[in-house]
Structure 1
């Protein structure tokens, strides 16, 4: 059984008028119980919605977020925290990046650390920023 941690940009793709057909097909092949999100992803999504100007799009996203199709409902019991173990892994990832001269995004490495601490492959459309981490990108067909 493979466990997948969906990056924020993967969930955001589903809020588009036309989500990626490749992503939709990949998701349809997965068992729901193998798909996870990070608590931090919930925060990033909500922040993105709150920063939008008032209007129909923001209202629709707010309704989605708190509704039956929102992340906290769809992923109930499968929202992984940034805990002690993930914190230690985050520190290792950040230090390794600094020591190699390749600075890393603190925010992306939080997702990476949560994934790694929970034996998940990170599913992202941002493979470059996750170098050295087990990732797949079903949108572009990258493993």
Structure 2
């Protein structure tokens, strides 16, 4: 299991704006971060981003900038992206995507 720095920013933002159990949530995320890998949006991801965004624009299937960054990190690091948003992420060639929220057959 791992997280992107993009996802971490979203989690921290959610904790910051939540008035309920903020201290507890902050401790929990620190514990989680101590045992998982954290992947940044680095140069390799930026290169993937440029290709993905260009291809999506050419095909008229643009997705959000944040989702494009997440996909770029996944491709740059040969990771499976776990998301419930298959509609957008499956537009990206070569990106392996799984939906863990999908009910089992």
Query: Please, what TM-score do these two structures have when normalized by structure 1?
Result: 0.63
- Structure 1: any 5+ residue segments left out of the alignment? 1-34
After superposition, the C-alpha distances for 1:69-113 in whole angstroms (9 at most, x for unaligned) are x3x2121xx211111111011111111111111221110111111
State the partner residue of 1:59: 23
Shift of 1:60: 2.8
SS state of the match for residue 56, structure 2?
helix
CA distance in 2, matches of 1:88, 1:38: 16
State the partner residue of 2:97: 135
Q: Taking structure 1 as reference, are residues 113 and 141 closer, same or farther at Cα in structure 2, changes over 3 Å only? A: farther
Which structure carries more relative contact order (alpha carbon 8 Å, separation 6+)? Answer: 1
Give the number of equivalent residue pairs: 101
State the partner residue of 1:99: 58
Shift of 1:55: 2.9
Shift of 1:114: 0.5
- Structure 2: any 5+ residue segments left out of the alignment? none
CA distance in 1, matches of 2:35, 2:56: 34
Query: Please, what TM-score do these two structures have when normalized by structure 2?
Result: 0.83
Shift of 1:46: 0.5
State the partner residue of 2:13: 47
Shift of 1:59: 3.4
Q: Taking structure 1 as reference, are residues 50 and 80 closer, same or farther at Cα in structure 2, changes over 3 Å only? A: same
After superposition, the C-alpha distances for 1:43-72 in whole angstroms (9 at most, x for unaligned) are 1110111122x233x333223123x2x3x2
